Amino acid sequence: MPENNYSLVNKSLHKTIFKLSLPGMVSSVLQTLFQLVDAYWVGKLGAEALAAIGGCAFVIWAVYSLTALSVNGITTLVAQNIGSGKKDEAKFSAGQGMLVNTVSGLILAVTVYFLQDDIYKIMGFTPVVFEQARNYMTIILFGLVFSFWFAGLEGIFRGIGDTKTPMIVLAVALTLNAILDPVFIFGWLGFPAMGVGGAALATVITIIFAVVLLAGFLRKEEIIPTIKHSGKIYINSAIIQRILRIGSPIAAGGFFFSLIYVLLTNIISEFGTEAIAAVGVCHRIEGIAYFACVGFSVAASTLVGQNVGAKRYKQAEKATWWVNAYGVIIMFIISIIFYFFPEWLMRIFTTDSIVQEIGVQYLKIIAVFEIFLAFEVIMEGAFSGAGYTLPVMLVTVPITFARIPAAWYLAIYLDMGVTGIWWAIASTTFLKGLLNTILFALGLWKRKLSLAPSGI
């Protein structure tokens, strides 16, 4: 295999894992902090405003999960082409992926804009929460394509094994977001007070800023994505189909996961606005744990992808197990924090005693099975790197759907209250992590090993 500046296949495994996962983990946590910063400032507007952005978070999660249609394929094909020493083909594959990325982002923005009122009705929002959610989401949707572009460009960096640059860009963007949030929310420095809409505007502005920075760094690396070949625009259906084949199962699983939370919110709303506000805050807190796992998932995806490109399948498998080992250690530490210090975490984001009490129950329950979140997410990255993501979807979709009847049975039929919903969430996380691990151990990821098509 030809050597190239981005290949990781002959480098120290453990050093490479941390080189990829730590910046990737920090980047993912920084993305969560965007929402946590919003929650911190919006929380000062009251429980209804907090419930509005908390409910919107599930819709946004559903929309953002569909970036996987392009991003997972971009990362996989770039990594596999880099692993086999084909830099030009990596750039071309990335260009085809960004085309899919742009089209899907625009279609989703328009679709959700016209469907959002019906979504909020399904979620059982009160009139005040409904109106605030609409203000927030409308602004987010106008900037949605930039969020998709950021995800796509970040996917290219992951494929070439550079997770540090996106981390730096996100850190700068988060700082800007933290400055702009109170300015737009409360009307500081002469700006009009926009309430929850101000938090959305701050997010959109910072994402645009981050996209410009990432594109500039990619240009400097001379690996900017392109859809041109021999001076002409060339849309390659084979590469686009492969990108969609890799990304569709992950996107479907993520979208379905988020859709279930829209329905689950309807059950949660039976226990009051405070319960909706609490789950919104807790999901932002748990997001730190989830995106820490995403950092290790990035390492698994890149290492598996590049090693598959170099036809080093045993090394790909070895790397996956080591990434999981490190991920579990981190999640164990986070679980201890969730279980023993939940009150402190909730007090950061709300002064409402009822919201705090409900949130404490949530954090203590999910802490019991939180290490299985690592197995679920990291194994998803490994399957993605191999270019075979169907098994992940077959695990994620049915078990996530089971949360609805399980939540109803425990919370309402057995009269466990909102605590029953938290147990439904925690136990299904355990099942998904366990099954993904078993499927990987059985070697299912090897079924469709193949290099990315040349496309040229």
DSSP-derived 3-state class of residue 98: helix
pLDDT, position 281? 82
Residue 58: name the closest of 1, 179, 140 by CA: 140
Task: Please report the sign of the dihedral spanned by the C-alpha atoms of residue 201, residue 220, residue 240, residue 399.
Answer: negative
pLDDT at site 136? 92
The predicted structure's pLDDT at residue 6: 59
Tokens of 6: 């981005």
Closest listed residue to residue 202, CA positions, set 72, 34, 331, 69: 34
pLDDT for res 10? 62
Q: Residue 261's closest CA among 76, 111, 450, 404?
A: 404
Rounded to a whole number of angstroms, the distance between the first and last alpha carbons of the chain is: 19
Q: Which residues fall within 8 angstroms of residue 259, CB to CB, at 6 or more apart?
A: 62
Structure tokens at 398: 């049915």
Domain extents in the chain:
13-446
Instruction: Print the SS3 string covering 77-134.
Output: HHHHHHHCCCHHHHHHHHHHHHHHHHHHHHHHHHHHHHHHHHHHHHCCCCHHHHHHHH
A 10 A CB-CB count for 313 gives 16
Instruction: Read off the amino acid at residue 57.
Output: A
Give, to the nearest 10 degrees, the angle between helix 47-65 and helix 13-42: 140
CA distances from residue 415 to 124, 217, 419 in whole angstroms, order as listed: 20, 55, 9
The residues, any chain, with a CB within 8 Å of residue 320's CB and separated by 6 or more, are: 300, 303, 304, 378, 379, 382, 440
What span, in angstroms and rounded, lies between the C-alpha atoms of 150 and 70?
12
**Greatest distance between any 2 Cα atoms in the chain:** 67
CB–CB of 214/68 below 8 Å? no
The model's pTM: 0.73
Task: Say whether 232 sits in a helix, a strand or coil.
Answer: strand
Q: Chunk the chain into consecutive blocks of 10 residues (it has 456) and report each block's average pLDDT, rounded to whole numbers.
A: 52 76 76 77 83 81 84 86 79 90 94 90 83 91 94 89 87 92 90 89 94 90 74 82 86 78 80 83 80 84 81 86 92 93 87 88 92 92 83 87 91 89 92 93 72 42
